Amino acid sequence: MPVANNPTPLRANRTCEYKDPSDDGVFGPISSAKDIHSLAFGTLLDILVNRSRVREAVSLYFNTVNLWFTIIEKTDFERQMEDAWDNLPAEVSILALCMALIARPPNQKPSKGMGDTVYHSTKAILSLVQSKVPMSIRLLQAELLVAMYEFSQSMPQQAYMSVGRCLHMAKAFGWHNGSLWSDINPALASPIELKRYSILSWAIVYVDCLLNLAYQNSGLPMHTAGLPCIDTIPTPDRITPQPPANPPLQFVGQNQGFRDANSDRIDGILFPEAFSSWSLSKVLWQLSNPEESILDSREFDGIIWDHARMNAAERWRSGGRFSTLGMDLISLMRLNQPTLFAGPNEMPVVDPNYVLAVNRIRNVTTFIAGKSVKLAESEDRLNAGFIDPGWALAMRDAGQLLIDHGEKELLDAGWLAKVTSLRAVLDKIAKRWKIAERFSESLKIALDHRGPATWHR
């Protein structure tokens, strides 16, 4: 019988040899770069070519995405980038690259091989920068933009990991420490700094909520559900007073007359998504933990409705703050939807809570359907990214409620026409945010398999 050839055992003093991957291939630039700052800056120019195009990409970001996801102070960032251009810090280069990533217009040429090379290049250089420089606000902002991009482009696993990294950075910065907020010490952080911390903290909750709702059957738990920070970290407007609805001091020009006219500076930034994120996280917690609920549903419904109406009535630079409005409307639908499942009681007098829930959901779904049709009239604005992916999620939820309850509980004779209209608008939004394609498809599946009232995912 032949004897098997056994591998020759390594000698005790022999070391394992390997080839340095930085000698060539994809890792070549790492070894040739002088330091992480020059590597990040070189990658920025590899993708955006020159200073002029970097400026264009940054300007595009601030004039679109940052209008509804206002996590970066425009004046401060542009000044830092211009002043330090000849020796740009790595965290500034990567943040500019992340801004360009999410602000890119639709209909880019399809990439071969692994797909979106700009996304993969951005992720790779962000990881390298994170491994070489200390944690900073700029790196957290970059990671948040990547998380939002991944959510908007239907990459739930990647977005989930990115949100987790954001949360860990926030914890490392001490933002979840109640003493930072309860006993404000100017020596530790000024009110302006605390406002910045608050905005970023609630931006993490915002993306976490969107991700959980869009992929609720994925088995991925919310990062922020039940965290003490939900009740510890104040919303930005509680740290520094919000400017009046018609602020007396405004920038001249095209921003004049808007609620967020002064949002290029941190002291004028508004982030109503903070309250919307807080309320939605509370609604989700209450629905999943009814035995621990301490909220009065009717009172909470009124508070959320008032917030939604206030922001819907304001004039915003983006044409409407649909990020916060969409989240408020999702909260209202989710808060009232369980009452529809219960149905009216058999008493001679119908439960007033049931009547209120039916009226609220009927009003919300009608508003979303009508507003979405108007938004779709300007495809240029849709393609530019003025309408955020969170509004698409609100459209999906409204459509699902109409499918499940429109004919019976809501007594809406036009429910099918509204669902058809919502799907058509979602298909248009999908040209900018791929996640809308998933939402449209889920409504199609729900229509094709219409049966017992349930949330189809």
Q: Note the pLDDT tens digit of each residue in 164-216.
A: 999 999 999 999 988 888 766 666 788 899 999 999 999 999 999 999 999 98
Does residue 407 fall inside a structural domain? yes
Q: Which residues form the domain of 196?
A: 149-246+259-294
* Pairwise pLDDT comparison (440 vs 344), residue with the higher score: 440
Is 188 domain-assigned?
A: yes
Decide if 4 is inside a domain: no
Mean pLDDT over residues 399-423, rounded? 95
| Model pLDDT for residues 12-21, shown as the tens digit of each residue | 556 656 555 5
Query: What number is the average pLDDT over the span 302-323?
Result: 95
pLDDT at 1: 53
Are 306 and 450 in the same domain?
yes
Please tell me the total count of domains within the chain.
Answer: 3
Residues 166 and 235 in one domain: yes
Please check the confidence at residue 36 and state whether its pLDDT lies above 60. Answer: yes
**Domain-terminating residue out of 134, 161, 180:** 134
Q: What is the DSSP string of 63-87?
A: TTHHHHS--S-HHHHHHHHHHTGGG
Confidence (pLDDT) at 184: 63
- 290 plus 307 within the same structural domain: no
Flag whether 2 is in a domain.
no
Q: Looking at the predicted structure, is the pLDDT value of residue 76 above 60?
A: yes
> What angle do helix axes 415-429 and 389-405 make, rounded to 10 degrees?
160
Using pLDDT thresholds of 50, 70 and 90, give the confidence band for residue 253.
very low
Residue 300 and residue 413 share a domain:
yes
In this model, does residue 295 exceed pLDDT 80?
no
Residues 313 and 437 in one domain: yes
Q: Give pLDDT, residue 256.
A: 64
Is 17 a member of any domain? no
Torsion of CA 335, 337, 343, 344, to 10 degrees: 50
> Does the structure show a pLDDT above 90 at 388?
yes
Which of 86, 107, 134 marks a domain boundary?
Answer: 134
Whether residue 336 sits in one domain with residue 274: no
Nearest by Cα to 353 from 286, 297, 288, 294? 297
350-375 average pLDDT score: 93
| 290 shares a domain with 305 | no
Q: Is residue 9 included in any domain, yes or no?
A: no
Arithmetic mean of pLDDT, 339-351: 63
125 shares a domain with 156: no
In a domain, 182, yes or no: yes
- 170 with 235, same domain? yes
Does residue 442 sit in the same domain as residue 418?
yes
Q: Alpha-carbon distance 335 to 298, whole Å?
A: 9
Q: Are residues 281 and 174 in the same domain?
A: yes
